Amino acid sequence: MRCILVGLLLIVACQPVLATVKQVDPAYLASIRDDNPNPLPRGFSAEELLNHVAPRIPDHVLAPPPGTARAQAEYEGNQGLMVRWGSFNSLLTEMTVAITTGDRSARMYVVVTGTSQQNSAASTLAGAGANMDRVGFITQPCSNSSQCSVWMRDYGPRFIEDSGRLGMIDHVYNRPQRIVDDAYPDVASAVRGEPNYDIPLIHGGGNFHLFRNRDAFMTRLIVNENPGVSEQQIRDYYAVYQGLDVTLTDPFPSSYDSTQHIDMWMLPLADNTVLIGQYAAGEGGGVPKSVTDAVASQMQARGYTVYRTPGWRAGGAHYTYTNAVLLNDLALICRFGGSYAAQDAQALATFQTALPDRTIVPVDCSGIIGSAGAIHCIVMHVPDLLFRDEFEGVE
């Protein structure tokens, strides 16, 4: 809980100091157009399934960080977020305005294909009211829209503390035809001047969550996508590359959630606090309910406080509120609107109860959820090691 000092007296105000977030004119958001009007889904596209290519671990010798690595939880302090411009630009704009006006210092690192797209993105963001002093651009050319996508969480670098500085862990993206996406961590490493360590695993980064106490969670999708690698070997890789103790859970059926990623039904909120989706008994043959209830019970037994928000499948999409973004002062959460207003209100109330010291900002996810992901899927956190203890979520 943040406290306020008045004058020279130690007077404690026990109400959280919440940020003021600038709102974007809905008409302006509606006018924003995507560079790629046919974005790649988070799962395999129809063309990728038709011309499937098996992902492959690089032939060169791979090595973990030489010192002690520490992966940082998302709820700790961050410099900002990495995103890729081009698809779902109105959503990226809404998020960028919220972050650059509502947080005290966070930046947005926007990946663009070149000068033309950068100028267009900058004009769009400035017109929406973003603080452009907090927006930086990284260039990675991409002339083929089937090779690059908005899903930064799944292919972007996973940052670690590497002997007192930032380093990056780079996995083989489990969408092998998206070669520009898969190459992005090398681009980020070169631009930022931070080392990049290749972990010998095929992986989609949204299938991963961690807490500051070294607990980390993934579904067994990672086992299925790495034949010949045992569960213990996977745990060992994460221990030496990121300093984590991984727990593997059952995935949802791919017919229910094509990604089978854990960020579609789990979100660490703070030390010893977690949000887990809640599903009806008849959903997905009962598997989503049995998986989430089992993990909720397991985490309660470990001493975690567990909050629940609704999840469901409708119109071919898996709707969820756990696919949210915690960033310093803020918590950006999904809003679906329309017939889902009651679920939106329930989720908002849950986040407000669980995170009283953060400003909760609902953003419109109705346009992206049909592509098998939401806002957590399109960002990668960039930790701030100097302030990593400030946003620990302890009242």
Two tokens at 241? 């590359």
95 close to 325: Cβ distance less than 8 angstroms? yes
What's residue 386's pLDDT? 66
What confidence score (pLDDT) does residue 55 get? 87
Give every residue of the chain whose pLDDT is below 50, as ranges.
1-15, 388-395
Strand partners, 313: 318
| Structure-derived torsion over alpha carbons of residues 169, 175, 180, 186, reported in degrees to the nearest 10 | 10
What residue spans of 131-285 are helical by DSSP H? 152-155, 179-192, 221-224, 231-242
Counting DSSP H helices and E strands in the chain, the numbers are 10, 19
C-alpha closest to that of 321 among 309, 331, 329: 309
CB 346 within 8 A of CB 309: yes
For 96, the enclosing helix (H) or strand (E) is helix 89-102
Write the burial class of residue 356 (CB in 10 Å: 0-12 exposed, 13-18 middle, 19+ buried): middle
Eight-state DSSP code of residue 6: B
- What does the angle CA 215 – CA 258 – CA 34 come to, to the nearest 5 degrees? 100
Residue type, 305: T
How many alpha carbons fall within 13 Å on the CB side of residue 182?
19
| Domain regions of the chain by residue span | 70-386
Position 230: which residue type?
Answer: S
Nearest to 378 by CA among 20, 19, 39: 39
Residue with tokens 């950006």: 332
Residue 4 has a pLDDT of 33
**How do residues 48-62 score in pLDDT, each as one tens digit?**
888 888 888 877 768
**What is the CATH code of the structural domain delimited by 70-386?**
3.75.10.10
> What pLDDT does 115 receive?
98
- What value does the mean pLDDT of the chain take? 92
133, 24 in Cβ contact below 8 A? Answer: no
